[in-house]
Amino acid sequence: MIGQTISHYKITAKLGSGGMGVVYEAEDTKLGRHVAVKFLPTEMAQNPAMLERFQREARASSALNHPGICTVYEIDHHEGQHFIVMELLEGETLDKRIRRGALELGSLLEFGIQVADALESASAKGIVHRDLKPANIWMTPRGQAKILDFGLAKMESSRPGAAPVNADEATAVHGGELTTAGMVVGTASYMSPEQARGQTTDARTDIFSLGVVLYVAATREKPFNGETAAVITEAILNREPLPIHQHDSSLPAELNRIISRAMEKERSMRYQTATDFKTDLLRLRRDTQSGSRAAADRSDSKPGGARASEKSIAVLYFENLSGIKEDEYFRDGVTEDIITELAKIKGLKVLSRPSVLLYRDKSVTAAEVGRQLKAAFVLAGSIRRGGNRLRITAQLVDPQTDSLVWSERYDREMADVFSVQDEIARKIAEALRITLSPQEQEALASRPTESTEAYDLYLRGRTYARRFTRLDLEFAYQMFENAVRIDPNFAAAYAAMANVCSSFHINFEREASWLERAHAAAEKAVALRPDLPEAKIARAWVLYANGKYEEALALVRPIIESKRDLESAYYLLLRALFAAGHYQEIVKIGEAAIEASGSDYNVYVPIGNALGALGKDEALRSLRQRRLHAFETHLRQVPEDARAHMLLAGDYGYMGRHEEAVREADLAMILRPNDANIAYNAACVLCAMSKKGEAMAALKKAVAVGWKDAVWTRRDPDLSILHGDPEFDKLFPPGEGAP
C-alpha cells in the first residue's frame, strides 16, 4: 500500500501488524500532519464480530481525551477498506522495553502513576479496557505511557442512538466471536480472577491487570506463571505470587504492599478506584525522592563531596555441568564457600546467599542479575566434576557494560578445590584493585579442612540435615561423623554434628546420650575455632535442647547481627522465641528471617505458629500463600523431601484444597513411613481439615514412633482443636518438658 492514497491519507511506510490489522504511517494531506492508520484486513471486515471489535476500539479511544491514551482522530472506510486514524507515536511497547531489563524504581512509579491516571479517566467515562498488558502500553522517548488497543473494552453504551449494551453479555470479541455470558475475555497472564471465571467486569478489573503489569515491569517475572492457559488461570484463582523483593531485594516493601493490594483476588479488598491506586503510588514516589535527596546530601557532606561507587558483588550459583543431579550439593557448597571467602575482604560488599538463591538454575544473564540486585559486579561460572578431576570456570562481569572484567578456567584435582576458591577471591580483589591486608590474606588462606573427602561428606550431610526427618538426620549424622573421623580438626563438621544431635533430642529421643554428644561436639568445634560462627550456633542449639531458651536467645542474637544468613541461625532464634512464648517478637522479625534464610523453608513454621497463637488470621493466611510457593519451589528442586511435602499438605488443608492435601500427605508418608516428625505434621494436616479423630490417631502414632517435643506440641496452634482434650492431656500432661 506504500505510495497509495486512501481517502486523504497518503501511505508512506509500514509500521507493523497484529491480530486485528496492519498499521501504516501516512500523511494527512488535508492537515499536513503524519498519522498512524490501522487497516482491518478485508477478510476480517466481512466478519461482523471482527468489524464490531475494530469499531469498538475506535469508539472507546475516541471517547477519551487523555495524554495516557493513544488519540483516535477518526474511523472511516474507503472503497471497502475500514481503517482507524490515530496519533503517530514514537518509542516502543512496554513489552519490548522490559525485555532489556526491569524498570528502575523512579521510572516504574512514574509509569504506574501515568497509567493509573489514564484508567481513572476511562473509568469516569464508563470504559473498562479488559486487556491491559505490556504489549498494549506504549512508552514514548519522553517517558509518557500511552494505553493502546481498546478492542476488548467494555462500554456503558454502543453507538449513539443504539440501545445500551452490556459488554459482558455480548459485545467484546474474542477468538473471532462475540462473547457471551461466562466467556473468558482478556490475555491469560494479565487477567483478573473475575475475568478468569467469566464474571462481570468493572473498573477494578483493570486495576488488577495494572498490578500485574507493574509486577512484571519491576521484576521481569510474571506473578502467575504456567505452560498453559489452564495452569495460569488456576494460579490466578488460587495462588499468591512471590513478594517482589524476593526477585529484587532493593525494591521497597511499600511497593510490594501497593502491588499486592492491586492484585487482591477479592474485588472488595482491591483498590476500589484507580484514584486510590494512583494516590499510593504518588505518595511512594514522594517518599522515595525525599529519601534519595537525603542520601545525596549525606554523600555530598563527606570529605571532597564525592559519591564513591561501592564495590559490591553478587555471586551466582555456579552451573552444574556434570549432568548428575546428585552433584548439585557439591555445586551449592562450593558456590556458598566462595561467597564466604569473598565476605572476608573488607573492601568488598558481598550480597548474601538468599539474595542470589532466587536465580539458581534460571536462564538469566549475569548482567540482568547485576542490574536487578544493584550489584556493581557479578561472578558467574560452572563446575564439572568427574572422578578426581575438577573443572571450574569463573567470570567476573560488569552489569552496566555487560563486559568481562576477569575470567579464568581451572582444571585441577579435587584436592585443589580450596586453592581454587582462594585464588578466585584473590583474583577478584586484584581485578577490582582492592589491596588485601595481611589478616585478610591469612583468612583467605585458611581452609575448613585439609581433606577433600571430609569436605565432600560435610557438604552431603548439610543437604540432609536441612530436612529434619529422623532418617535424614541419621544420614546427616553419619556424614558428619565420618568427616571428623577423617579430619579430627574439622570444626564446621563438629558444629553440624552438634546441631543434628540437638535436633534428635528435641524431636525424637529424649535420651541424655544425645545431649552429651551434642555438647561434646559443640565444645570441640569452639575449641578448634572459637571465632567460627557455626561453632557458636552449635552451642546455642545445645542450650535450646536443654530447655534453656533465654540463654539460647542471648547467644544467637549477636551471631545473627554479625552474619544474618548463617545456616539455621534464624530458625533456631524463631524456635527459641516460640518455646519461650515471645510470639510478638517472632512476628516483628519474621520478614527479616524469611529474607535472610533463602531456601530454608523451616523458618516459616514458627512464624506461622506465632501468628496463629496471636490470632492474626489474615496475616497467617497471607503467610500460608507465601510459604506454599516456597514449598512448591523447593520440591521442584528436591522432590524427595518428605517434610516439605507434609508441610505443603498442611497449607493445602487450611485452604480447603483437601484432595491436594491428602495427595501430599500420602506422598510424605510413603517417603518416610515411620518418621515421628512426619506423623506429627500429619496430625496438623488432619486438624486443618477438621478431622479431629484422625488427627488424634496420627498424634498417637507420632508419639509411638518417637515424637518427644511436649512444649512445642502444647503451644502449636495447628493442634488447637486437640488442646484440652483428655486424650491429648494423657499424651502430653501439662507441665511436662517445661523449662
**Residues involved in catalysis:** 131
547 burial level (CB within 10 Å; 0-12, 13-18, 19+): middle
For residue 148, the SS3 value is coil
**Please, what's the b/e burial string for 560-594 (b: 16 or more CB within 10 A of its CB; e: otherwise)?**
beebbbbbbbbbbbbbbbbbbebbebbbebbeebb
**Amino acid identity, position 2:** I
380 burial level (CB within 10 Å; 0-12, 13-18, 19+): buried
Distance of CA 493 to the CA centre of its chain: 31
Residue 499 contacts residue 568 (beta carbons within 8 Å): yes
Q: Are strands 5-6 and 9-18 parallel, antiparallel or unpaired?
A: antiparallel
For residue 456, what are the CA distances in angstroms to 333, 357, 606? 9, 21, 31
Specify the DSSP class assigned to residue 322: S
Distance from C-alpha of 220 to C-alpha of 93, rounded to nearest angstrom? 15
Q: Could you tell me the three cell numbers for 308?
A: 564513591
R_g over Cα of the chain: 30
Place of cell 555530598: 300
How many residues make up the chain in this entry?
739
**Amino acid identity, position 175:** G
Rounded (10°) angle between helices 417-431 and 438-445? 150
DSSP assignment string, 599-642 = T-GGGHHHHHHHHHHTT-HHHHHHHHHHHHHHHHHHHHH-TT-H
- HEC assignment per residue over 264-318: CCCHHHCCCCHHHHHHHHHHHHHHHHHHHHHHHHHHHCCHHHCCCCCCEEEECCC
